[in-house]
Each structure stands twice: as C-alpha cells, then as structure tokens.
Amino acid sequence: MNPGLSILMPVYNSAAFLEESVSQLIRFLSKHSTDYEILLGDDASMDHSPRLMDDLARRHASVRCFYHSRNQGLGVNLRRLMREARGEIWAYMDADLPFGVEVLGGLIPYTRNYDVVVASRYLGIPARVTWERRVASRLYYFFCERCFGVTVRDLGSGTVLMKKVKCEDLPLEARGFAIHAEFFVKARARGLSVKEVGWVSRRTGKGSFRICRHGWETLRETVDIWRKLKLGAAFF
C-alpha cells in the first residue's frame, strides 16, 4: 500500500538542522500515523548534508534519499521529489521547518476540501521576517497578482500540501525559486482549489533564499512564465 503522506524536503547545505528536522517529523508523524514517507533531495550540498541523509535513511525505513551530483536549483530538485513520491498527499517542507511540524496537523484537514493548502506568514499574522524579505515578498506578490491573477500572499511559504492526483502532472519547468510562482500559476490555470492558512512562522527570514543572489534570477524566470503566457504558449 502506498504511503498516505509524502514529505518532500529539498536539501542544500542543511547540515546544521537537517537531523533535528527529520527527527521532529518522525516523532510527530509516528504519533499520528504509520502511513508516511520522508523524501530528502540533496542538490549537491557543499557541507556534510549527504552523509547525514545516508545515516538517516539507514536508521529510519521511512526516509528515502536522492542526490544530485551538481547543483541544479530548487525547481529541478523539487520536481525530482514529486516524481518519486508515493503518497496521496504531498507536503513540500523547507528543511529548516519554517512553521514547525505541528503545522501538518493544522493543514491536513483542509486537504479534504482543497487541492492545495499553503501555510502563510502574511495572512493576518505578524510575519517574523527581515524588512528586506518583507518588501521583496510584497513586491513579488503584487507582480504575480497583477500578471497572473494569483492571490496567494506567501508564494515562498516553504510549507505547501498538495493532492497528488491533482498536481502530479502539472508541467512545471522552472529550475530555481520561480517554481513557487509557476506552481500556483499553473494550478490556477488548471482550476485547482487553493486555501491559504495563516500560521505563525518560527523562521526569522534567513532561509536558503538570498535576495541578492537569487532575486534577479527568480524574477527573470517569472517574467519568462509571463512571456510564454502572453504569447499563448500551451501550459498543458
């Protein structure tokens, strides 16, 4: 029988918190279900994340690991995990668990009525992010809302639940962080139902995304999505 829940966790230089994050997930999920798997995808980390992943997989039958020999970007990494996932519900979670593990208990009930459920820092809850991240997130949100009609406020949430049957064949192409916006653009075009749920983040805005390093490339990829849409390129 396929696992009911697949945790999709992209990994990149996550050694400082990876073992604790996976341990927290296993403790939480073991109390609530035996029907789960945790998929870890390393994108050519430069620290000892791959060794930690090997050890976690040896100790826990629920952990499966996948590796890239060279860095290919979040989008490529996440798509690989989607292809490998067996569960009926997918939970994409950043490796530092920005909303903690308890968020799963809060979001899973919504999957009965919605195809996609998003934990949001920006929905009626004070966001624990730096002002630079807040400004960049707001500008990116307004851009995506204006260009695509996407109204998800926390596009880079880092905690998104999806029904496999509705999302497994979305034709995602972005290689980097624009995978977030592309997912919601194509989910909207497909007519999938999306629920954004306000949740307190425990992250202070210091995830793997760096505005100076990744911002322009993310914007370029997003503009490319818009260009294809305007030119009438088929999404599906």
Per domain, the residue ranges of the chain are 5-230
Distance between CA atoms of 24 and 168, rounded to whole angstroms? 27
Distance between CA atoms of 204 and 4, rounded to whole angstroms? 31
Q: Assign 120 a pLDDT band (cuts: 50, 70, 90).
A: very high
Average pLDDT of span 125-146: 78
How much is the pLDDT for 1? 42
pLDDT (tens digit per residue) in 45-96: 999 999 999 999 999 999 999 999 999 999 999 999 999 999 999 999 999 9
Q: Are strands 89-93 and 5-11 parallel, antiparallel or unpaired?
A: parallel
Q: What is the mean pLDDT of the chain?
A: 89
User: 17 Cβ partners below 8 Å, 6+ apart?
Assistant: 95, 96, 97
How much is the pLDDT for 235? 52
Question: What's the whole-model pTM score?
Answer: 0.90
Distance between CA atoms of 145 and 36, rounded to whole angstroms? 34
Q: Reply yes or no on whether the pLDDT at 102 is more than 70.
A: yes
Q: Reply yes or no on whether the pLDDT at 207 is more than 60.
A: no
CATH fit for domain 5-230, picks 3.40.50.80, 3.40.50.280, 3.90.550.10, 3.40.50.300 = 3.90.550.10
Distance between CA atoms of 129 and 92, rounded to whole angstroms? 20
Residue with tokens 């952990």, as numbered in its chain? 63
Enter the tokens of residue 117. 């459920």
Distance between CA atoms of 5 and 27, rounded to whole angstroms? 15
